[in-house]
Amino acid sequence: MSTVQQLAPFVGLVVACAVLAVSRASMYRWLHPMVLCAPPRPTPPRALDATEKEHVLEVLRSERFVDQSPAEVVYTLLDEGEYLCSERSMYRFLAANDEVRERRDQLRHPAYARPELLATAPNQVWSWDITELRGPGKSQRFYLYVVMDIFSRKTVGWLLARTQTGALAKRLIRETCKREGIAVDQLIIHSDRGTQMRSKTLAQLYADLDITASFSRPQVSNDNPFSEAQFKTMKYSSEFPDRFESLNEARGFCRGFFDWYNVSSAPTGA
């Protein structure tokens, strides 16, 4: 704009704008900015003064009305023969004080941090979960408990049962820790927030063995991806049947699958 202004006295404003590809309308607005001359809006004669506004806010903040909406407050007071101001005015006063929100007393859920699982060697971090396998009947299910080492992707322990209990989970993890020679304060075990994972029985085992428990965030389905990926690999394999005729048949399939999985997922080296 300043270049146009310097050139305009010699060639004219129109030519200067054309040469420098500047809109003449923009140049005129820059040279002659609009001045708002409108008078301030007068205060309505029935507007509440500062003292009355403060009284309305005190009523809205009182123990009686603190969890009610302005509409409820207005009509409750009208039933009692009292009128302070309109519902819209109450909203306006609350907004001016940054108080327009859900006024009812509600439970505030804490913010859960996303679990960060880092393993630089085997038997530092395990992931475990339970999945269902269809049995011979329509409502029959077998439950497969699997413990995986996330560094090597090795299945370090598994158990197949007819029920889901914290006692079975405790037995599996205790025996797996003994077999793998887990030392004190060596291991982190990650899982979702299922009933068996959060059971007091399992928590006592973690305390006895100095195991650090890690859990997925509430209602977040992808915070335990290692176990979920393993279950998908198993159930999408071509040999996986639609149903198992017996618990022994299911155990035989799982034994063969985990033998293959541990070999195929093992890291290769020179």
Q: Which residue is listed with tokens 């519902």?
A: 87
Domain boundaries, the chain: 2-31, 50-96, 125-264
pTM of the model as a whole: 0.60
At residue 40, the pLDDT reads 77
The CA distance from 262 to 95, in Å, is: 61
Structure token pair of residue 28: 């005129």
Domain range 125-264, CATH architecture: 2-Layer Sandwich (3.30)
Tens digits of residue pLDDT in 161-218: 999 999 999 999 999 999 999 988 899 999 998 888 989 989 999 999 999 999 998 8
- Count of all residues that appear for the chain in the document: 270
Q: Could you tell me the sign of the dihedral formed by the alpha carbons of 164, 166, 168, 170, in that order?
A: positive
